[in-house]
């Protein structure tokens, strides 16, 4: 029921329109062109039709110019006041920019990290003190189950642990800033992004271009996340503390596993097989309300204190962080592998020379989309420090990218990258032909 965006019936900029006063709107929608002088009135049919056509074209041109001014003003207010982007960069650029923006909310104590490193060194020193004859031997009193659980616990502690509150905050920031305009790349672009990563940083020499996006191409994965995550500070803290509570629960179970597995080991036949009835009885015994709070499982469950609302929010956040939800966690792990990011006290921080570790995907995205020349008005809402640092540290030549410290040494050669991309697209085409052509019709 309307043709132009400045029409009051249009809902596209209805929230931004309210931020302008009536005088500003009136001046913005005022016609700039002068009216044409009235011509002779005694015109024939052909002359009248020609005149009406000229007037109609003039009105359309004025309305289009008015719409352009209106949209430019709305985008200016959207970026400067609402901090919402007009266009979206790729996911890696969004994660890096979000890190710069929310870093001040998560201060990291370097002293704690130094103490942790010292403790890790002490543990390594203790391992060195073990006699050589004892290495690789299990104690006589240590069962296979205890050894497996201990190995699982050690492996879990070696994995990078990122603070859940930090991840939820990053989800919220990306959703509010780019969620309305970021669309998932095509399957080919997604595969190319991980082809570059695995080809440059992965130790797997058998990597092939078979990476398939778990998300729907051209979808808006971040659009409604800000409305699903709780905005209550108290609930936010409860959801963020759940990983620590769950880890405490797992540690309690692992430390008391022998007490729990003792009765269960007596069930079943001599081979340790338990029938369905016995499994049901064990499950009912472990999960019933009659379990004393002083028992290992009972005390661990009591320490969790999980409200249903907080648990639902936690499960939602875990899904949204997964590859099927948004892929943010995959991007953080990739940046960690690339040594762009380090994790200290659960908080991802940029390494001192992070700018030299970024890949060609980020540099090409900057050059074509959100650099100072490509985006002087900041419509991509990229952090200025991120943009300025990359522009200062990298130089683009006609034949490749080089660091400013040594501009003659190419880090990314366009000729090699073009050949790589051509080979990659050939493999994709060969795979598609096999699946859709030879594989289906036997050609």
Q: Can you spell out the DSSP letters for 45-103?
A: HHHHHHHHHHHHHHHHHHHHHHHHHHHHHHHHHHHHTS---SS---HHHHHHHHHHHHG
Residue 361, C-beta contacts closer than 8 angstroms, at least 6 positions apart = 90, 92, 193, 196
Render each residue's pLDDT in the chain as its tens digit; 443 residues. 678 888 888 888 888 888 888 888 888 887 766 565 666 667 777 878 888 888 888 888 888 888 888 899 999 999 999 999 999 999 999 999 999 999 989 887 655 444 444 544 444 444 443 333 333 333 444 454 554 554 444 444 456 788 888 888 999 999 999 999 999 999 889 989 888 888 877 655 444 444 678 889 999 999 988 887 765 555 556 656 666 655 555 555 455 544 444 433 333 444 333 343 443 343 343 333 333 444 444 454 455 556 666 677 777 888 888 888 888 988 999 999 999 999 998 899 999 999 999 999 999 999 999 999 999 999 999 999 999 999 999 999 999 999 999 999 999 999 999 999 999 999 888 887 877 765 555 55
CA distance linking residue 153 with residue 71, whole number of Å: 56
pTM of the predicted structure, to 2 decimals: 0.71
Contact 365, 89 (CB under 8 A): yes
Residue bearing tokens 């990983």: 243
DSSP string, 247-289: HHHHHHHHHTHHHHHHHHHTSS-TT----HHHHHHHHHHHHST
141: three-class secondary structure by DSSP: coil
């Amino acid at each position: 029921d309307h043709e132009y965006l400045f029409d009051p019936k249009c809902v596209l900029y209805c929230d931004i329109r309210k931020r302008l006063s009536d005088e500003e709107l009136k001046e913005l929608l005022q016609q700039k062109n002068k009216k044409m002088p009235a011509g002779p009135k005694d015109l024939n049919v052909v002359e009248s039709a020609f005149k009406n056509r000229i007037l109609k074209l003039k009105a359309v041109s004025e309305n289009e110019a008015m719409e352009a001014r209106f949209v430019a003003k709305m985008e200016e207010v959207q970026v400067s006041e609402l901090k919402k982007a007009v266009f979206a960069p790729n996911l890696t650029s969004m994660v890096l920019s979000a890190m710069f923006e929310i870093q001040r909310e998560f201060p990291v104590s370097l002293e704690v990290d130094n103490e942790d490193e010292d403790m890790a060194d002490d543990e390594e020193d203790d391992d060195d003190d073990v006699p050589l004859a004892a290495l690789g031997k299990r104690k006589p009193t240590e069962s296979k189950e205890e050894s497996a659980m201990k190995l699982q616990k050690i492996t879990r502690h070696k994995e990078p642990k990122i603070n859940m509150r930090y991840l939820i905050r990053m989800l919220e920031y990306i959703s509010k800033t780019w969620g309305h305009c970021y669309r998932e790349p095509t399957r080919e672009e997604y595969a190319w992004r991980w082809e570059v990563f695995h080809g440059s940083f992965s130790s797997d020499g058998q990597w092939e271009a078979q990476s398939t996006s778990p998300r729907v191409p051209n979808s808006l994965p971040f659009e409604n996340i800000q409305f699903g995550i709780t905005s209550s500070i108290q609930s936010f803290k409860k959801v963020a503390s759940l990983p620590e509570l769950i880890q405490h629960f797992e540690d309690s179970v692992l430390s008391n596993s022998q007490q729990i597995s003792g009765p269960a080991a007596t069930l079943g036949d001599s081979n340790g097989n338990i029938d369905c009835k016995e499994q049901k009885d064990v499950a009912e015994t472990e999960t019933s309300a009659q379990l004393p709070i002083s028992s290992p499982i009972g005390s661990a469950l009591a320490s969790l204190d999980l409200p249903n609302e907080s648990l639902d929010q936690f499960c939602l956040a875990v899904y949204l962080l997964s590859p099927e939800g948004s892929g943010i966690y995959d991007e953080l792990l990739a940046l960690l592998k690339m040594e762009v990011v380090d994790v200290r006290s659960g908080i991802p921080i940029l390494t001192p020379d992070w700018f030299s570790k970024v890949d060609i995907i980020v540099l090409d995205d900057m050059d074509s989309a959100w650099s100072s020349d490509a985006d002087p008005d900041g419509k991509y809402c990229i952090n200025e420090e991120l943009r300025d640092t990359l522009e200062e540290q990298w130089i683009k030549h006609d034949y490749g990218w080089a660091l400013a410290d040594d501009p003659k040494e190419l880090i990314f050669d366009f000729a090699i990258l073009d050949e790589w991309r051509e080979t990659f697209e050939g493999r994709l085409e060969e795979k598609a032909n096999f699946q859709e052509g030879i594989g289906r019709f036997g050609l």
